[in-house]
Structure 1
């Protein structure tokens, strides 16, 4: 369990590596929290309310295990859910493995912060990020949250 042994976390470093390689993303904050509703909520709330974080990506806790509570922790915090992003992730993931059907992602906004939950698998993280980067979907979502759509339309 990564919350008791940080060396067990493989998906978190994979996310940071992919974001660093793409450029335009800076990951200043990361945390490993236990699979506990309050711990997850407290971390996500703290980051979202800061106002200087555009994107929060979580990894792990989205499956069917009894300890998998990340979607239940994050969804009540969301002001606007993003079912299209979930559909994109799931459609792409199901092309790679039928076991993607066992994932329970959540996506939405808290203020001007986009929050997306990923499975804990390195393979799934790579596939989910590929799907979101394809065609610039993730970049556009973040741009819109930061007021880009209004600027673009003026």
Structure 2
């Protein structure tokens, strides 16, 4: 039996000024949410505006409400309002740089601009840490990330729960 995320609460957060104002439909969040649901996760979704303070707030709220994993999509580029990594860094106690590097590398050959993503991955602090992952805001990045996360998250959560690895 392949590893699943059965029973795991996962928050998928789309970070986009335009989507939060209703000017553009959220495309990447549903890709991630559907893929994580297929693995058995209980997925909650939200859309927030760009900015470090808003990203920090929504991640902290998701973890406080029981999310074991928070996946953000959007705001990882180099534009003036792309501040998802800055907000995320405020909640991370331990980085997972290999995961962030793998997410960037997944699309780099086909989409050279993928290397401009500044997304982070890591663990929150406290007695029950959560995994937080930033994904670029395109549907292609979301599809690639879903594959990477499907392969990594079950094992990572097992390790967090003290299982042997």
Q: Compute the TM-score of the two structures, normalised by the length of structure 1.
A: 0.86
Deviation at 1:6, TM superposition (A): 7.3
1:124 aligns with 2:125: no
1:45 aligns with 2:99: no
Matched positions, count:
145
Question: 1:26 pairs with 26, 39, 42, which one?
Answer: 42
- Supply the distance in 1 between the matched residues of 2:23 and 2:37 (Cα, whole angstroms): 20
Deviation at 1:7, TM superposition (A): 5.3
The answer for unaligned runs of 5 or more in structure 1 is none
Does the aligned pair in 1 maintain the 2:33–2:45 contact within 8 Å?
no
Does the aligned pair in 2 maintain the 1:57–1:118 contact within 8 Å?
yes
The equivalent of 2:107 in structure 1 is 93
The structure richer in helix per residue is 1
- Supply the distance in 1 between the matched residues of 2:47 and 2:101 (Cα, whole angstroms): 27
Does the aligned pair in 1 maintain the 2:105–2:115 contact within 8 Å?
no
Does the aligned pair in 1 maintain the 2:78–2:117 contact within 8 Å?
yes
1:57 aligns with 2:71: yes
- Supply the distance in 1 between the matched residues of 2:23 and 2:130 (Cα, whole angstroms): 26
Q: Which runs of 4+ in 1 moved over 4 A?
A: none
Q: Compute the TM-score of the two structures, normalised by the length of structure 2.
A: 0.81
Deviations 1:43-81 (A, max 9, x none): 11111233x211100010001111100001101210101
The structure richer in strand per residue is 2
- Supply the distance in 2 between the matched residues of 1:95 and 1:131 (Cα, whole angstroms): 16
